[in-house]
Structure 1
Amino acid sequence: MSLADSDRELVVSELDREPTRAEAALFENLWSEHCAYRSSRPLLSAFDSEGEQVVVGPGDDAAVVALPGEEGEDATYITMGIESHNHPSYVDPFDGAATGVGGIVRDTLSMGAYPIALADSLYFGEFDDDHSKYLFEGVVEGISHYGNCIGVPTVAGSVDFHPDYEGNPLVNVACVGLTNEDRLVTAEAQEPGNKLVLVGNATGRDGLGGASFASEDLAEDAETEDRPAVQVGDPYAEKLLIEANEALVDEGLIESARDLGAAGLGGASSEMVAKADLGARIELERVHQREPNMNALEILLAESQERMCYEVEPENVERVREIAERFDLGCSVIGEVTDGNYTCTFEGETVVDVDAYFLGEGAPMNDLGSEDPEPPATDLPDVDLAEAFDAVVASPNTASKRWVYRQYDHEVGARTSVGPGDDAAIIAVREAEQGLALSSGAAPNWTAVAPYKGARAIALENATNVAAKGATPLAAVDCLNGGNPEKPDVYGGFEGIVDGLAEMCETLSAPVVGGNVSLYNDSVAGPIPPTPTLALVGAKEGYDAPPLSAAPEGELVLVGDLGLADDVRLGGSEYLAQFGGSDRFPELPDDPAALIETLAAVADDDATLAVHDVSHGGLAVSLAEMVTDDAGLEVSLPGDDPAGELFHEQPGRALIQTESVEAVREAFDGVAPVVELGAATDDGTLSVDLGDRTIETDAAEIRERRATIERGLE
């Protein structure tokens, strides 16, 4: 590890001396892109993070949001957080992904919340590539192992394959927790004289320099050379830590808390006191260790997992120790909060003595140039429609993800009302008698073509997913993934996804209450597409929702543009990804907020039999996904551009199966077009009349086509 020359000059000027070895390493990690957001922070003010429902916004380990109608001391709060574990998951897919789950769960614990749901959004190179499959299988195994062992259900997420992730996959994990006003804890230290107590696993040498490693491009030899920077998880210890944290919060023993993640103990403890403009005095040799002869720098910066730093009043320390011992967890009183500098000693020698605020906030921001991407020309392929239908429905991007989510325990906790495989999951928050809908994902094909418009579309797509379950948007967290920001075209694309996501979330009244930035996702294969993962929650009364699958009777309508005549745009579509060509990205609805509100209301109407959003793969994939052995669909497309009608991917559209087409028309009057497509049948067949030809298939054939991932991994 080495501190950049310009940063060292700034540190020397502030300290009026050369930094110690431990100080230099601490500054390097806490001033890294991963921790300090040096390239992205100037852009993040674009996000609207405020609202009546927002209790704790950005800047803490997780955000806290009140559910609608919940007020006063008995109000039910949810926590939301998201993080990336991209570089570690390339180097060691199992442990990299597993510790990503562990980290975001501990972020939830540090707010005094109990984790109730996970969502994972995963991005890999082309599915046919053997290395991509190796990473894919390892990441899914790591997530399922850790999540299943700790008893937190993985209920939502996404999987995308794109050639530009080959040298740098992305693993983004979100967590939702449950708390209330009495249990709420933050990461801001409260009072000088309070003790700092480390609870959890012993500290080893794993994960050293993880924050700085995450702030660099991946080199060709990263899989071997950077393995020591990857943490190793122990989900059984995490499960004990979850229950111990619950006991500590129940008894009111915690004044503030921070998960030990990036930059380890140094990061967690310094950030706690910096938030309150306080200091700390830490004796590093007091940290319980699992390896012999660890030095000060290793103890300070190791990112060993399953550890929490708590601020505890002196009279409560013994009780904290008793609870830790009850759950077979290590417990060390490592120091105390002060009103001076942040200091660390090791065997009587002072190794760190700096102002905590300067350590956390002193990093200079980068002033980077940017270039706007060129809009694509229109160059459309001429493809047989039946061939195109089969290819798009069978694409790994639109095919069934059952192979992934069947490995996750999505029922544990007995709160999952709608599980993975639907447009959005629904978690039963019985404490408030409300359902919490959760959708998470991005769309690299969209943002690769049009970063700004594609990011707006991603926000609308996630909102459409929760509205299809009868919920209205409540809040969101984002994980903004980009390549090397020092490249103007890459930084221009990153600016585009920030502005697009921020604008649409504000339009939808979904404040972005927290998030994560991951840059330098660049390798010898080149930069990743700008990838703005959004995890969005919506709320509704009760826990029931209309299914995605069709019923054997009822009329079928499309809400939104079918793509007639000159309106169709195929840019960013799976159709073009399969067959080549280029086009502009589709325009979005004029009033997306009204559309989402109306769709949520119609989804909850008694006359509604099924609802399914239309997006990735277009109408072709959405129709195919609705068909079951017991219910088919007989559809006619009225336009003269069947390729556009079937495959364009404008978001903000939905298929609604209803007993009253007139009621749907009336609800969407002045909001969005309503196009009658046909009716349900009871024979399990999908028939699409294109005027001069008909595409016909059945549920069994569709299942076989959509089993691409299972076949590819056999």
Structure 2
Amino acid sequence: MAETSRTPSQLDTVAVATQDPNREQPWADLGLKADEYDRIKEILGRRPTSAELAMYSVMWSEHCSYKSTKVHLKQFGEIPQETPVGKMLAGIGENAGVIDIGQGYAVTFKVESHNHPSFVEPYQGAATGVGGIVRDILAMGARPVAVVDPLRFGPLDAEDTARVLPGIVAGVGGYGNCLGLPNIGGEAVFDATYAGNPLVNAGAIGVLRHEDLHLANASGKGNQVILYGARTGGDGIGGVSVLASETFDEGGPAKRPSVQVGDPFMEKLLIECTLELFAAGLVAGIQDLGGAGLSCATSELASAGDGGMHVELDRVPLRDSSLSPEEILMSESQERMMAVVTPDNVEAFLTICKKWDVEAVVVGEVTDTGRLEIDWHGERVVDVPPASVAHDGPVYNRPFARPDWQDTLQADGAEKLARPTTGAELKDTLLTLVASPNLCDKAWITDQYDRYVRGNTVLSQPEDSGMIRVDDSTNLGVAMSTDANGRYTKLDPYTGAQLSLAESYRNVSTGGATPLAISDCLNFGSPEDPAVMWQFAEACRGLKDACLELGIPVTGGNVSLYNQTGETAILPTPVVAVLGVIEDVTKRTGSAFVAEGAKVLLLGETAEELSGSEWAHVVHNHLGGLPPQVKLAAEKQLADVLTAASRDGLVTSAHDLSDGGLAIALAEATFRNGIGATVSVADVHADAFVALFSESTARVLVTVTDEQVEAFTALAAANGVKVTELGTTGGTDLVVEGQFTAPVAEVKAAWQATLPAAMA
């Protein structure tokens, strides 16, 4: 091991901290508040050493500690921890949630943010976001099988979007493709509030047998602590833990710590090595190294175990020999894991690591002292209660209040805006919307991702949800969708969060899967703004109430705050991932029309709900009014119909209605196979414009063969779902009787042109 240029006598050791209590320390520069620094001194009975201060600063950061949001997140614990088909095997507080899907299998899934690093360094920020979430999945004992990427950007024509979008997409694709993981879902949404604050939320799914579940804890006195994977470098010192805990100034982030640099090929070796270690039964506890690096891994493992650990920090393999103990503890270098191993298994553990060319070093051991003790060249630089670092950080009851402008915003409904009244105007509106940034073809993005690697992808973009085969012999599979609507959430945070959940829930069921559980990634502005905290509190309350009504648990999630530039916060964006199970993926349902002569049916009821819609946004640049009504009971009934219809082969396609309403759903259903349709919307709503562009919820477009119409309508009636017959598939035009005829090729050309032109 190369040694740092700093000699032990120059170290700020525990002994020095005791003898020199009044030394000035840069606690404010590290993001700590005065009262937080005082609390650290109270916990330790002295001032912290420099290394301890580094650990507390990153672990008590907003990103790692959730100190402003714990009081609201705890209500998710009120939701029963049972899914519609089984039990939850691991939940909130673990690296990722794990749920039973039957046949002895379990699935782990999670979504996390890497927003601020992706603004500073788009490629590496996004790439390491993928790498980090994959290691979270791996740490649960699962093989990662797929990734998803909900993304948000500023206006498509903005200069900074041209900088960040290509880099972020390349980072997501480059890392995921190199790992050999299919990217099966996500979103790309554009709004002015995300300029300067793009959202990069990365999700992953993993599969494991029940008996393979692993948890993050360090138990068993004398068990060895092994650090393995990439060497520790200066990249990412204070990275996401600092970047994600401060508002960006108008000119960019006030602090620019180096963003982590990813190596997907090392991560691939790390994945295969770790899975072999699991299979050999050599791992007693495990933790990935992500945000806060070694500070997080050591303190969380010790806190969740017997409470004691001793680490020799100078054993940590370094890429940069000049790193100080503080920097080593704060570094967020990627592709690293920490395992707890019984002494008799250490040699076998190291042998497997050597086989995979993964560097592994014993850096410490589990103790019964109840302390996390870290030495550097024989000198004690950290001596802390591990729970005080990892789990017992500050908890703030931030003031929150409904903003004064909320009433004015909600009173300004889009229903009063000028709307098209003729067939020609309706056709022009359709062409305008399909070409808009949020509704246009995202193939420019998704074609950079490998969606079918590993051969088990069953559904992927542009389907409503992604679907993966879990078992080749039984065709057991899982589906996942991620959704959020920031405009709805701005209009009403409680309702908007529920609508995000409802859309994800609906998207999973359209493919034929039964929704089981959710993970969330809650992206908001500064918690120091009472209006933002009110939005957050209302969104959490909305998600809890919706989960209780739908009967599905929250398995875990992520919070990303300080997403704002100066005084401008992003639209509140609660991304909700819903995971579902399907017993036989060969009975899945796609979203596109597949044959001529099928009946086109609309499920659900349509009302005049235009506020927060894509039509209001694109045509009028308007945001105001109340979002569509939430119909959770109807969503549940609809899901029951869709999953049963898929299982029994009663439908040939199913596509949810969401952004852009019925008109966009009809158009998208025609694109894949070029099959048109002739429909009437007279029975949908008296106003053809409302029928076509309302964004009422709990609605799905399905096609059914003549032979199955009677059985399907009986199924819908038995579940209380309204069915409206619209027309028949066929031809090469989309015909809305009495209104307009639009050649599918013309509409598709408008849909496909936008992103390539903008990125050219």
**Aligning the two structures, in what range does the TM-score lie when normalised by the shorter sequence?**
over 0.9
Contact 1:483 1:528 in 2 (8 A): yes
Larger deviation, residues 35-44 vs 355-364:
355-364
Residues of 1 paired with 2:156 and 2:647: CA distance? Answer: 38
Aligned to 2:19: none
Question: Is 1:378 equivalent to 2:413 in the alignment?
Answer: yes
- Name the aligned partner's letter for residue 238 of structure 2: G
Q: Matches of residues 265-284 of structure 1 in structure 2 within 5 Å?
A: 265-284=294-313
Call closer, same or farther: CA 1:115–1:265 in 2, change over 3 Å: same
Note the alpha carbon deviations across 1:53-110, whole angstroms, 9 max, x for none.
Answer: 2001111111111103x3xxxx111111221100000000000000000001111111
Q: Residue by residue, what CA displacement relative to the aligned partner does 1:649-685 show, whole Å, maximum 9, x if unpaired?
A: 123210011124333332222523211111111x221
Q: 1:347 matched to which residue of 2? A: 377
Deviation at 1:326, TM superposition (A): 1.6
Contact in 1 for aligned 2:220/2:306 (Cα 8 Å): no
In the TM superposition, residue 212 of structure 1 has moved relative to its aligned partner by 2.2
Answering whether residue 735 of structure 2 is matched by residue 687 of structure 1, we say yes
Gaps of 5+ in 2: 1-28, 421-425
TM-superposed CA distance for 1:643, in Å, is 2.1
CA shift digits 1:229-274 (9 cap, x unpaired)? 3101001100110111011111011101000011111111110110
**Bigger CA drift: 157-166 or 312-321?**
312-321
**Partner of 2:217 in structure 1?**
188
Distance 1:371 1:81 in 2: 30
Partner secondary structure for residue 480 of structure 1: strand
- 2-structure distance, mates of 1:516, 1:229: 22
Match of 2:466 in 1: 425
Match of 1:471 among 513, 537, 541: 513
Matched, 1:242 2:242: no
Q: CA deviation at 1:364?
A: 2.1
CA contact (8 A) 1:452 1:497 kept: yes
Q: State the partner residue of 1:633.
A: 677
Match among 614, 621, 624 for residue 664 of structure 2: 621
Does residue 668 in structure 1 map to residue 716 in structure 2?
yes
Aligned to 1:407: 448
Residue pair 1:167, 1:525 contacting (<8 A) in 2 also: no
Give the conservation status (yes or no) of the 8 Å contact 2:491–2:612: yes
Give the distance between the partners of 2:270 and 2:186, measured in 1 at CA.
25
After superposition, what is the alpha-carbon deviation per residue over 1:149-208, rounded to whole angstroms, capped at 9, x for unaligned? 011111111111111101211111111111113322110222121111000001001111
Contact 1:445/1:574 (<8 A) preserved: no
Q: Which amino acid aligns with 2:330?
A: L
State the one-letter code of the partner of 1:546: T
Match of 1:642 in 2: 688
Pairs within 5 Å for 1:313-332: 313-332=342-361
**Cα shift at 1:630:** 4.3
The C-alpha deviation readout for 1:358-384, integer Å capped at 9, x for no partner, is: 112222211112223432432432143
Superposition misfits of 4+ residues, deviation over 4 angstroms? none
Amino acid corresponding to residue 744 of structure 2 in structure 1: D
Residues 627 and 699 in structure 1, CA contact (< 8 A), matched pair in contact too? no
Q: Where does structure 1 lack aligned partners over 5 or more consecutive residues? A: none
Secondary structure of the structure 1 residue equivalent to 2:616: helix
**Equivalent residue for 1:514, pick from 536, 544, 556:** 556
CA distance in 2, matches of 1:588, 1:706: 32
Counterpart CA distance in 2 for 1:520 and 1:148 is 31
Q: Is the 8 A contact 2:434 2:750 kept in 1?
A: no
**Partner amino acid for 1:183?**
D
Matching residue's letter, 1:56:
A
Instruction: Indicate conservation of the 8 Å contact 2:634/2:698, yes or no.
Output: no
Distance in 1, Cα, partners of 2:538 & 2:753: 35
Q: 2:642 aligns with which of 596, 599, 604?
A: 599
Q: Which residue of 2 aligns with 1:60?
A: 94
The CA RMSD over aligned residues, in Å, is 1.6
SS in 2 for 1:160: strand
Picking from 503, 522, 534, the partner of 2:545 is 503
- Tell me by how many angstroms 1:226 deviates: 4.3
Task: Give the alignment's TM-score, normalised by structure 1.
Answer: 0.95
Structure 2: distance between partners of 1:8 and 1:445: 39
State the distance in 2 between where 1:483 and 1:538 align: 30
Task: Please say if residues 119 and 164 of structure 2, whose CA atoms lie closer than 8 Å, have aligned partners that are also in contact.
Answer: yes
Measured in 2, the distance between the counterparts of 1:577 and 1:50 equals: 39
Distance in 2 (CA, whole Å) between partners of 1:634 and 1:710 is 30
Residues 608 and 29 (structure 1 numbering): CA distance in 2 closer, same or farther, change over 3 Å?
same
CA–CA separation in structure 2 for the residues paired with 1:229 and 1:26: 18
> TM-score, normalization: structure 2?
0.90
State which drifts further: 51-60 or 695-704.
695-704
Letter in 2 for 1:377: D
Q: Given the alignment, which residue of 466, 477, 481 partners 1:439?
A: 481
Cα separation, 1, equivalents of 2:180 and 2:711: 43
Measure, in 1, the Cα distance between the counterparts of 2:574 and 2:674: 38
Q: Judging changes above 3 Å, is the alpha-carbon distance between structure 1 residues 452 and 219 closer, same or farther for their aligned structure 2 residues?
A: same
Superposed CA deviations along residues 419-462 of structure 1, whole A, max 9, x for unmatched, are 22101111001166312111112122221222211111111111
Deviates more, 1:42-51 or 1:203-212: 42-51
**Which stretch of the first structure deviates more once superposed, 149-158 or 546-555?**
546-555
Deviation at 1:228, TM superposition (A): 3.1
> SS at the partner of 2:185?
strand
1:152-167 aligned at under 5 Å gives the runs 152-167=181-196
Structure 1 pair 377/277, CA: closer, same or farther in 2 (3 Å)?
A: farther
In structure 1, what is the Cα distance between the partners aligned to 2:605 and 2:194? 32
> Which of 358, 365, 369 is the equivalent residue of 2:395?
365
Instruction: State the alpha-carbon separation in 2 of the partners of residues 503 and 595 from structure 1.
Output: 19
Q: Look up the SS of the partner of 2:432 in the other structure.
A: helix
**8 Å Cα contact 2:509/2:639 also seen in 1:** yes
- What amino acid is aligned across from residue 242 of structure 2 in structure 1? S
**Which residue does the alignment assign to 2:697?**
651
Distance in 2 separating the partners of 1:696 and 1:591:
32
Per-residue deviation, 1:695: 4.3
Cα distance in structure 1, aligned partners of 2:650 and 2:532:
48
For the 8 Å contact 1:558–1:677, the answer to whether it is kept is yes
1:50 and 2:84 equivalent? no
* Letter matched to residue 162 of structure 2: K
Task: Check the 8 A contact 1:569/1:583 in 2, yes or no.
Answer: no
Amino acid across the alignment from 1:476:
I
**How many angstroms does 1:277 deviate by?**
4.4
CA distance in 1, matches of 2:751, 2:211: 52
**Amino-acid identity (%):** 37
Distance (whole Å) between structure 1 residues aligned to residue 696 and residue 567 of structure 2? 30
Alignment of 1:286-325 (within 5 A): 286-325=315-354
1:213 and 1:229 in contact (8 A); partners too: no
**8 Å contact kept, 1:104–1:174:** yes
SS in 1 for 2:211: coil
Distance (Å, rounded) in 2 between the aligned partners of 1:574 and 1:414: 36
Letter in 1 for 2:743: T
Question: Take 1:371 and 1:505, find their aligned partners in 2: how far apart are those partners?
Answer: 24
Conserved? CA contact 1:49–1:57, under 8 Å: no
Aligned counterparts of 2:390 and 2:751: Cα–Cα separation in 1: 52
CA contact (8 A) 2:431 2:747 kept: no
**Aligned 8 A contact 2:650 2:712 in 1:** no
